[in-house]
Amino acid sequence: MLTRAYDDKYWPADLLPVRDQLPRVKAVVVFGGEVPDGCLELDALLAESDVVTLHASLTPASTGLLDDRRLRLMKPTAFIVNTSRGPIVGEAAFIDTMKRRAIRRAALDVFNIEPLPKGHPLATLDNVVLSPHLGYASEDNMRQYFIDAVENLEAWLGGNPIRVMGAH
């Protein structure tokens, strides 16, 4: 499995004018197989990055991907952002890392247990920003979800389903 963390062809249109001014790294996470030429292996990426953002599905291969060993590779000035799934980062190792201030800051929108239980150690860390897994829930997104749901239901009831998963 190969997951690209960076690829020129996926730049958002509004960032194209400033693309060359932004820091650039070619990185991939590979579960089995070789890392393509010009890309960094995960350990090298973690050691060199100022900001690490996680965008992955939770699978057996990604569970615990950022464990104590890998967290220790990161710069003390680094930031980590996890908006994918909590268990991708080893929770106990992460809490220890942040308590020791071995990484400067973190932002989490996902946790091993959601909602985060009252009194959880993550809530005591002043160098970690927490949000309740609502990063996607803007007013515009929620409005569109409901519009799509009504359209889908009306089309299905009318015998002409739309947005059918797996349909070509």
87 to 7, 33, 37, 42, 133: CA distances (angstroms): 25, 23, 30, 17, 14
Of 53, 153, 152, nearest in space to 163 by CA: 152
Known catalytic residue at 168: no
CA distance linking residue 92 with residue 100, whole number of Å: 12
> Using the 8-state DSSP alphabet, how is residue 83 labeled?
-
The residue annotated as part of the active site, out of 4, 19, 55, 114, is 114
The residue annotated as part of the active site, out of 72, 104, 105, 133, is 133
Q: Which residue has the tokens 């979800």?
A: 145
Known catalytic residue at 104: no
Known catalytic residue at 151: no
Q: Catalogue the active-site residues.
A: 85, 114, 133
